[in-house]
Amino acid sequence: MTSSPPGVKTQFPSTASDINALREAISPARLGTYLKRSQRNVRRAFELYAWNVQAGAALYPILQVNEIALRNAVNRALVSQFGAHWPYSGGFLRTLQKFERETFEKVRTKLEGKLRLRRVSTDRVVAAQTYWFWVMLLTSRFEERVWKREFTVSFPDAPPRIDRSVVHARADSMRMVRNRIAHYEPLLDHDLMETYQRAVAMVRWISPANAAWATLRWPPDPAVLKRS
């Protein structure tokens, strides 16, 4: 890289003292990846770091829209197959592996304790689950029990070539980028415009209206997502 990432304005740090203070504030370990990518040029490393912050912020809206759309789509399938109270359905719980069930029930029990209820609403359980949970429910283990009957209902606008396995792969890639953003990790090795486009496409398979609204409300900024 020989130029600063587009859209990043750098006026600080301007002195050696500022540079050292900022490097310590970020931490040498965290800045190390950016130093390596900038051939040990400290100022360019700060610019890359600033780009990483902007890129994560630019992707956040579509990732949020994508996650909510996906969990609602999977929830509809679970309601259809296991009933409106599927979080308490023995049939549903038996589909989970030991670790999955323990993780799910831990979240559910925590909600029950917080709300002081013997049973909490399905909506609250849905909202409390991680993106990992919804991605897990798209694995091949649920093909026969859920997706063979529910895929076209939950993803009504998916093209004919798109099936459960494609959605699972894309959702898992969204999960990894989302987690990197959430933990402030480098995005340098990700094609962020492709990530944005894939997130929009998945939302469109579920709801074209939702995808249209999201792209109009939070359009991508190529100057940020396509760093030079």
pLDDT of 17 reads 87
Distance CA 31, CA 50 (A): 11
Residue written as tokens 């962020």? Answer: 192
Helix (H, G, I), strand (E, B) or coil at 6: coil
pLDDT (tens digit, 0 to 9) for every residue of the chain, 228 residues total? 444 555 555 567 778 888 889 889 999 999 999 999 999 999 899 999 999 999 999 999 999 999 999 999 999 999 999 999 999 999 999 999 999 999 999 999 999 999 999 999 999 999 999 999 999 999 999 999 999 999 999 999 999 999 999 999 999 999 999 999 999 999 999 999 999 999 999 999 999 999 999 999 999 889 899 875
pTM above threshold 0.95:
no
Q: Tokens standing for 70?
A: 């996906």
Q: Compute the half-sphere exposure of residue 132: CA atoms within 13 Å on the CB side of its CA.
A: 7
- pLDDT, residue 16, reads 84
- Using CB atoms within 10 Å of the CB of residue 65, give its burial: 0 to 12 exposed, 13 to 18 middle, 19+ buried: buried
**HEC letters along 66-106:** HHHHHHHHHHHHHHHHHCCCHHHCHHHHCCCCHHHHHHHHH
d(C-alpha 66, C-alpha 69), whole Å = 5
How far is 227 from 4, CA to CA, in rounded Å?
A: 8
| Pairwise CA distance, residues 201 & 128, whole Å | 25
